[in-house]
Amino acid sequence: MAQRKSLKADTCPMARALDIVGDQWSLLVIRDAFDGMKRFGEFQQSLGVAKNILSDRLKNLVQEGVLELVPASDGSAYQEYVLTAKGKGLFPVVVGLRHWGEAHLYARGEPHSVLLERDSGKPVPKIELRARDGKQLDPDATFVKKLPAKAAR
């Protein structure tokens, strides 16, 4: 199989992010970490992914600083995967994908999981982007400014 092209040096922030979390298994590992899973076996059982693929994704997420390996919280000889601050920064991405999936991938009344606030037990409100004036921001009100490449030294 051909090696995937690295996007680490791409000028687009989205491309660089996708270089780390752009495959389904990485994002599902991150989702499960937000749901409290910490051990290899928990991720493997939840995802049903081959162990070699899971091992590769976990290794990459640790190398990229999204997860870190820490001693097991129960004092055993095992290690656990926990989200770093960088990993926790993906929370709005995970919630946004969840909300998009709820809005577009389920028939009316079709059951699915729901993200709830721990304190109130109520559903997490839909993520909305706001302009500086507080109005809802939609794609037609934005643009990307490409910055010139820095000259080689």
Considering the domain boundaries, does residue 152 fall inside one? Answer: no
For residue 59, what pLDDT is reported?
A: 97
Considering the domain boundaries, does residue 124 fall inside one? Answer: yes
Counting DSSP H helices and E strands in the chain, the numbers are: 6, 2
Beta-bridge mates of residue 80:
70
pLDDT in tens, the chain (153 residues): 456 677 777 788 888 999 999 999 999 999 999 999 999 999 999 999 999 999 999 999 999 999 999 999 898 889 999 999 999 999 999 999 999 999 999 999 999 999 999 999 999 999 999 999 999 999 999 999 988 877 555
For residue 151, what pLDDT is reported?
A: 59
Sign of CA dihedral 17, 18, 20, 24: positive
For residue 6, what pLDDT is reported?
A: 77
Helices 24-34, 51-63: crossing angle, 10 deg rounding: 70
Considering the domain boundaries, does residue 4 fall inside one? Answer: no
For residue 4, what pLDDT is reported?
A: 66
Considering the domain boundaries, does residue 66 fall inside one? Answer: yes
Give the Cβ contact number of residue 94 at 10 Å: 18
Total number of domains in the chain: 1
For residue 12, what pLDDT is reported?
A: 85
For residue 7, what pLDDT is reported?
A: 75
Considering the domain boundaries, does residue 153 fall inside one? Answer: no
Considering the domain boundaries, does residue 8 fall inside one? Answer: no
For residue 2, what pLDDT is reported?
A: 58
The CATH number of residue 133's host domain is 1.10.10.10
The tokens describing 38, both together, are 């910490």
Single-letter amino acid, residue 82: V
Considering the domain boundaries, does residue 3 fall inside one? Answer: no
- Domain span including residue 66: 13-141
